[in-house]
Amino acid sequence: MTEKIITKKVLNWYDLNKRNLPWRKKAPSYKKHYYTLVSEFMLQQTQVVTVIPFFNRFIKKLPTLEDLAKVKEIELIKLWEGLGYYSRARNLKKTAQIIIKIFNGRLPDNYDDLISLPGIGKYTASAILAIAFNKPYIPFDGNIERVLKRYLYLKKSQEIKKDYLNKKKAVFGSSLRSSDYAQALMELGAIICKPSKPLCNKCPVIINCKSYKKKDFELIKNFKKNKDKYFILKVYKKDQRYLLIKNTKFNFLKNLSIFPMEELYRPKNFKKNLNVKMSNMNMNIKIEYSKNLRKPPLSYWVDKKNFNNYMLPSFTKKVVKYLEKN
């Protein structure tokens, strides 16, 4: 099967089966550019089904790039609450401000300018160029990577390295409908070539899929080991209230409300009470209850009965949930 036939089959399948996603709605180019920017930031490390309601709420409150650029941080974080990885929200706002100031309010349409913006890496730049500007890029996300590995039956350690995979994606070819084609390949991985139990009988490129011929769909991954980190988390409780602080110390959850914490380096005989995975970090947490309170700067009391009135990250909510059960 030539690249042109693959392209044609995937696009035909996409035209009949694509999901009705809010950022795919027909709109003037300036709105499409904005929707693509917002959705791609939200989709970083977050699944489509999770993003949809957040995207709709975000666009309703901040319908334009200008609205995003001038929104107050407390409102921005509240809109983002539940998506996690709050640095994405802050970088999105910074990017909006730079686009208005430096690029006259227009989303850049070249790779070098895009990758210079906060929160935009190689993948996001490629996705924006393909989806928003119809340029011949194939953004290499987990879905497309999975399709490629199965289609070519890539199993060896050398074959699953990023550089090798990026070269091999040429098998997909290109299309004048670059925007649709990039999304079609993502869609194929998301709803047909699933991580487990792929729906091969519905796949448009089943004929030449090497994994299908071998009836072997197992995926070999390059695992990145999460870094183990150790923290002492101090709990000050008064009646039904917990003492929280604004986080200015750690790079994660920057400027959000957390319990007072100290990081330990290579502790011996560390007995954790709680384990939380965050991005590429494995947080081992030992909880200490303290009665002697020296109220730290940027701290305040939060009544657990009114938690929904506060802008709290999911990490803090997990800690409270643990405390209430133990």
Query: Quick one: average pLDDT of 6-17?
Result: 95
Residue 250: φ, ψ to 5°:
-100, 150
Question: Does 20 lie in the same domain as 57?
Answer: yes
Query: Quick one: average pLDDT of 218-244?
Result: 85
pLDDT digits (tens, 9 = 90+) for 136-155: 999 989 999 999 999 999 99
281-289: strand order across its sheet: 261-264, 227-235, 281-289, 274-278
What's the predicted TM-score (pTM) here?
0.79
Question: DSSP secondary-structure letter at 192?
Answer: T
Estimate the crossing angle of helix 48-61 against helix 73-80, to 10 degrees. 150
pLDDT digits (tens, 9 = 90+) for 287-301: 999 877 778 888 889
Query: Quick one: average pLDDT of 227-240?
Result: 90
Q: What does the pLDDT read at residue 223?
A: 62
For residue 280, name the pLDDT band (cuts at 50, 70, 90): confident
Share of the chain above pLDDT 90, in %: 65
- The residue among 39, 10, 5 whose CA lies nearest residue 22 is 39
- The residue among 269, 279, 149 whose CA lies nearest residue 220 is 149
Question: DSSP secondary-structure letter at 253?
Answer: T
CATH code of the domain covering residue 231 = 3.90.79.10
| Residue 132: strand, helix, or coil | helix
For residue 31, name the pLDDT band (cuts at 50, 70, 90): very high
Q: Which of 157, 185, 214 is the last residue of a domain?
A: 214
Radius of gyration of the chain (CA): 23
pLDDT digits (tens, 9 = 90+) for 39-69: 999 999 889 999 999 999 999 999 999 999 9
| Residue 22 to residue 94: CA distance in whole angstroms | 23
Task: Tell me which amino acid residue 61 is.
Answer: K
Kindly state whether residue 220 falls inside one of the protein's structural domains.
Answer: no
Question: Does 194 lie in the same domain as 61?
Answer: yes
For residue 21, name the pLDDT band (cuts at 50, 70, 90): very high
Q: Has residue 127 got a pLDDT over 60?
A: yes
Question: DSSP secondary-structure letter at 89?
Answer: H
| Residue 301: strand, helix, or coil | strand
CB 99 within 8 A of CB 128: no
| Residue 30 to residue 9: CA distance in whole angstroms | 30
Question: Does 171 lie in the same domain as 37?
Answer: yes
Region of residue 153 (left: phi > 0; alpha: psi -120 to 50; beta: else): left
| Residue 21 to residue 54: CA distance in whole angstroms | 12
Positions annotated as catalytic residues are 40
Q: Has residue 3 got a pLDDT over 80?
A: no
What is the domain count for the chain?
Answer: 2
| Residue 31: strand, helix, or coil | helix
Query: Quick one: average pLDDT of 226-238?
Result: 90
Q: Which of 148, 181, 214 is the last residue of a domain?
A: 214
Q: Has residue 313 got a pLDDT over 90?
A: no
Q: What does the pLDDT read at residue 222?
A: 67
- The residue among 168, 172, 150 whose CA lies nearest residue 158 is 168
Question: Does 264 lie in the same domain as 192?
Answer: no
- The residue among 73, 269, 253, 220 whose CA lies nearest residue 261 is 253
Q: Has residue 1 got a pLDDT over 60?
A: no
| Residue 230 to residue 44: CA distance in whole angstroms | 26
Give me the domain span that covers residue 271. Answer: 227-325
| Residue 149 to residue 140: CA distance in whole angstroms | 12
Q: Has residue 239 got a pLDDT over 80?
A: yes
Q: What does the pLDDT read at residue 279?
A: 72
| Residue 78 to residue 60: CA distance in whole angstroms | 14
Kindly state whether residue 320 falls inside one of the protein's structural domains.
Answer: yes
Question: Does 264 lie in the same domain as 148?
Answer: no
Average pLDDT, the chain: 91
| Residue 284 to residue 155: CA distance in whole angstroms | 33
Question: Does 185 lie in the same domain as 142?
Answer: yes
Q: Which carries the bigger pLDDT value, residue 305 or residue 242?
A: 242
Q: What does the pLDDT read at residue 2?
A: 61
Instruction: Give kind and range of the element (H or E) at residue 261.
Output: strand 261-264
| Residue 283 to residue 319: CA distance in whole angstroms | 12
Q: What does the pLDDT read at residue 192?
A: 96
Share of the chain above pLDDT 70, in %: 98
| Residue 24 to residue 28: CA distance in whole angstroms | 12
Q: What does the pLDDT read at residue 255?
A: 81
Q: Please, which residues bridge with residue 238 across strands?
A: 241
Q: Which of 214, 240, 274 is the last residue of a domain?
A: 214
Kindly state whether residue 192 falls inside one of the protein's structural domains.
Answer: yes
